Amino acid sequence: MAPDCAVEGAVAGPVSAEGIRGALTPNAPLAKLVWFKTGGAADWLFEPADLDDLREFLLRLDGNLPVMALGLGSNMIVRDGGVPGVVVRLGKAFAKVEAKGDHVLECGGGASGILVSSTARDAGIAGLEFLRGIPGTVGGFVRMNGGAYGREVADVLIDCDVVMPGGELVRLPAADLRYTYRHSALPEGAVVVAARLQGTPGDPAEIGAEMDRIAKAREESQPLRTKTGGSTFKNPEGDKAWRLVDAAGCRGLRMGGAQVSEKHANFLINTGDATSADIEGLGEEVRRRVYAHSGVMLEWEIQRVGRP
């Protein structure tokens, strides 16, 4: 067995780094990579050079450490104690989007919702405009069945390519993901590297107008220019999370540097000096108050990861 190669500052890597072309960083700060701008470090951050590099790295890792994929960090609280194991962040090599025949879009796992929807618009592919309203990457919204403005990924996904924790590349049809509201059956530690989305024929001008409408609606209703994490709680059946939060008197509620947004009650914001514990603690207090007021226990939509 090859010895572990030295990685930055003579720290032994989790696998032999010989031939691995991506960047492997120990004790990597994650706060700058997530929208809330809070949280601790990853034990290891791996940014693969390309698909083969990712597969080789995970093959060598062989499931010996937990693996978590990180996209744009929009819908996530990284706890203050950091994330154990390896965080995988997909870069430019995974951010390509290409129109194929039959109004299909092939998207890299690191491509943003804005890039996907604008590529679809330029190719005259309708039905993917809603992705303009999801602040994340293909990998994240395939895993979470991301949705906005009445549509969700389950409506458009044909299949996706994932790299399993042991390095195996697998193509999963949408049915295998067993989608429900903001949830999939994608295995823990699997990294979505590509997806194919089905659209319909459309007029680029009309598609663009719908995207503009979505962007304007988000700007008017959501606190986009703050350190936030997107929608905090899932909408309960037949109701809206923001309405329940508002009815329980939580709009503007604060804990440390965290606050329930005055603009949209289902958004938490970092007012400047919040810790992840402040944000998560505020969310739990909101859940408690909503339950006391309405008898509904809100479910988190934001992912909370790592050590407290």
What amino acid positions are annotated as catalytic residues?
182, 231, 301
> At which residue do the structure tokens 């949408």 appear?
174
For residue 170, the cross-strand partners are 162
Q: Is 203 exposed, middle or buried (0-12, 13-18, 19+ CB in 10 A)?
A: exposed
Q: Report in angstroms the alpha-carbon separations of 99 from 108, 146, 159, 243.
A: 12, 21, 15, 39
DSSP sequence for 182-240: TB--PPTT-EEEEEEEE-EE--HHHHHHHHHHHHHHHHHHS-TTSEE-S--BPPPTTS-
Give the DSSP letter of residue 300: B
Q: One-letter amino acid identity for 165?
A: P
